[in-house]
Structure 1
Amino acid sequence: MKIDFRHSQAAHCENGATSNLLRYHGIELSEPMVFGIGSGIFFSHMPFIKMNKIPVTSFRPYPGMIFNRVTKRLGVKIVRKKFSDPDMAMTELDNLLEKGSPVGMLVGVYNLSYFPPEYRFHFNAHNLVVFGKEEGKYLVSDPVMERVEKIDYEELKKVRFAKGTYPPKGRMYYIDDVDTNYDLKNAILVGIKMTCKHMLHIPIPMFGVKGIRFLAKKMNKWPEKKGPKIARLYLGQVIRMLEEIGTGGAGFRFIYAAFLQEASKLERLE
C-alpha cells in the first residue's frame, strides 16, 4: 500500500508537510509561500508555560495554524481529528491510507528512531506525513529529513501519543477537497496583513514586537534573579528556538524574506 506521494525536504516541519500535501492535491507552492500565506512569522514569550522546565519562547504561531490558514485562504477543505484511543487512531490512519489519502500528523520527536540522538528532545509539535505501508512499516515523509523514512506500528503509535507539554493526542489532518481556481494574490495579501496586525497590534505585552521587548527586559535580569547556570539554560533555549528548531535561521526571518521576494515577482499586489 503506497500512495504516489513526492517527498521534499524543508526547513520547517509544518511548512514542509503543508507544501507536500498541497502538491499531492495539485497546488504547487514553495515553503516560503506557504509560510507567508499562513502568517507564519510571529513572536511570543510566555514565562508561565514551561517546556523542559524552561519558559516557552516561540517565533511562530501555535502548531497547526499555518496549515489551517493556508488551506482556508486557498479555499481548500480539510479534516482534522484527535483521539483518546491510540488503537482507534491507528485504525483511522490505515483506513485513510487504503483510500489513497496521505495523512499529516503531529508527533513527539523524542522517540523517533530515525532522528539522530543529538536531535532528540521532548518536543511534541513535530509535523510529518504518512503516505503508505511497506513490509509492515509506515512510509513517512518527514520534511526535515532528506529521504523517506520507515517506522513500525508501535513506534508510530508511541510518538503520536507522546507525553509532556502540548501532547499530540493522536492529532492528524488531511486534505478533503481542492479548488484549483484559487486567488493566490488575495491569499498573499491576507497573509501579510495578518502578520502585520499580529506583530504590531496585539495589546498583550508577551506577543509580537511588544513581546520581543518584554523578553529583552527579562533577559537582562536572568543572571541576577535565576543565577548564572539557569540564565545560561534559559538563553540556550531561546537561541535553540531562534536558530535550530526548523526556523531556517533568524527566527524564520530568512524564510519570510524569501516569501516577500517570491511574492514581489508576481504582478503588482494591490
Structure 2
Amino acid sequence: MTNSFFQHKQTAHCESGVISNLLGHYGLQISEPMAFGIGAGIFFGHLPFVKVNGVPGTTYRIWPGAIFQRVCKRLGVRMESEKFSTPEKGMAALDKVIEAGIPVGLQSSVYYLPYFPASYRFHFNAHNLVVYGKQDGQYLVSDPVMDTVTTIDPESLTQARFAKGFPAPKGKMYYPVHVPPTASFEKPIKAGIEQACHFMLKVPIPMFGVKGIRFLSKRVRNYAENPGDRKATLYLGNIIRMQEEIGTGGAGFRFLYAAFLQEAAVMLNKDELSKLAGELTKTGDLWRNFAFAAGRVCKSRSADNVSYKELSDMLLECAASEEVFFKKLAQVKL
C-alpha cells in the first residue's frame, strides 16, 4: 500500500528530523530546531573506552533516542516502541503497522542503506528514518537527511535494522499512539534549556560537557606519542567524521541549537536568547576551523602543516567559548 499523505521535509539531523516529520503528520507542528532544543540535544562527550570502528568515540549531541524521549514526555506524546529478537518478527511487525497506514520510525545502520552515496555508507547504527508504506515489494522511505522520499528493498532494510555492533538496533521501531492536537512549548523550552546547561556544565565526569572538550584537548596534544602518528591519523579522522558527517556534526549541532534559541526568543519574548544564538554561531565557526585544520593533518599524514599542540589549543578555544555561552544561557530568567 502507499501512504501519499505523509509529508517529507528534509532536515539537518536524523533524530530531530524524524520527530518533526512524524509529529507533523499528526498535526502537531514542531520545527527540527525546536525538537532539538526541547530535547536538549546539544552535548559533548569523548569516550576513549567506547570504540567506534576501533577508535575512541566522540559525540557532539546527546545519546541516540534521548531527544525523542524528552520531546515526547514534554509535549504529552505517547509512543509505542519495540525491539525484536529476530529479523522475521521485526519485519512482520513493521508490515502490520504500515498496512494500517501508520508511518513508522526506525533505527538503522547507515552502511546498509543503498540510497546513500557509497562514501557515506559506514558502520553507524543510530540512524533514524521513517517508513510510511510499501509499493511493488519496496518500502517507501522518508529519510530526513535526504532531499526527497526514496525506496528500499526488504533485504537491505532487514540488514540495516538488524546490523551487528554498537549500538545494536535490534529492529527498533516506534510510532505515535497519542499526539495532542496542540501543545504549549513554553515549559518544554525552559526544561530543555535547563537540562542542556546542566549536561554541558555540571556533569561531574571529566569526559562530558565543557570538561569533555578540555579532556579531548589534552589527549590530542599528546597524539604524536600516544597513540603515535599512524593511529593518531585514524583517531583524528574519527573526531572529524563524528563532527562533520554524522547527522549535522559538532558545528552543525551548534548552528541547529542557535536556530532553536531564535525560535525560543520569539515564543518566550526573550531578546537575550536571540543575542546568545548569535554567540553560539561563532562557536560553531570555531569547531569548523578545528575540523578544517585537523583534516589537513589527516591528509598530509603528518603534522607538518598544523601541530597537534595547535589543534589542542583550538579545542581549548572551543571549550572556553562554550563555557561562557552556557553560563550566560543558564543565567537567563525564563
TM over 0.5: yes
- Contact 1:106-1:124 at 8 Å conserved across structures: yes
Gaps of 5+ in 2: 271-333
CA distance in 1: counterparts of 2:232 and 2:240, whole angstroms: 12
Q: What residue identity is the alignment partner of 1:142? A: D
Match of 2:175 in 1: 174
Q: TM-score, normalised by structure 2?
A: 0.79
Paired with 2:63 and 2:208, the residues of 1 have a C-alpha distance of: 12
1:194 aligns to what? 195
For 1:205 and 1:262, how far apart are their aligned partners in 2? 32
Provide runs of 4+ in structure 1 moved above 2 Å: 267-270
Partner of 1:211: 212
Residue 140 of structure 1 aligns with an amino acid whose one-letter code is V
One-letter identity of the residue aligned with 1:229: R
Question: How is 1:1-270 mapped onto 2 (pairs within 5 angstroms)?
Answer: 1-3=1-3, 4-247=5-248, 250=251, 252-268=253-269, 270=334
Q: CA deviation at 1:102?
A: 0.6
Residue 251 of structure 1 and its aligned partner are, at CA, apart by: 5.0
Per the normalisation by structure 1, the TM-score is 0.97
Question: What is the SS of the residue equivalent to 2:246?
Answer: coil
Aligned to 1:227, what secondary structure does the other structure show? Answer: helix
CA distance in 1, matches of 2:215, 2:184: 38
Runs of 5+ consecutive residues of structure 1 not aligned to the other structure: none
CA root-mean-square deviation: 1.2
1:124-163 C-alpha deviation (Å, 9 max, x unpaired): 1000000001111000001111111111111111110011
Larger Rg: 2
User: Would you say how many aligned residue pairs link Structure 1 and Structure 2?
Assistant: 270
State the 1:249 CA deviation: 5.6
User: SS at the partner of 2:165?
Assistant: coil
Identity %: 57
1:254 aligned counterpart, secondary structure: helix
Higher-helix-fraction structure: 2
* Conserved? CA contact 2:28–2:183, under 8 Å: no
Separation in 1, partners of 2:213, 2:252:
12
Contact 2:34 2:263 in 1 (8 A): yes
Residue 266 of structure 1: SS of its match in structure 2?
helix
Say if 2:131 and 2:141, in contact at 8 Å, map to a contact too: yes
- 1:183 CA drift (Å): 2.0
User: Do the aligned partners of residues 42 and 249 (structure 1) sit closer, same or farther apart at CA in structure 2, a change above 3 Å counting?
Assistant: closer
Q: Secondary structure at the match of 2:134?
A: strand
Post-superposition offset of 1:100: 1.6
Shift of 1:34: 0.7
Answer with 37-46 or 222-231: which moved more.
Answer: 222-231
Q: Give the counterpart letter for 1:268 in structure 2.
A: N
Q: What letter matches 2:38 in structure 1? A: I
> How far apart in 2 are the matches of 1:181 and 1:24?
13
Contact 2:110 2:127 in 1 (8 A): yes
Supply the distance in 1 between the matched residues of 2:193 and 2:75 (Cα, whole angstroms): 15
Kept after mapping to 1: 8 A contact 2:46/2:208: yes
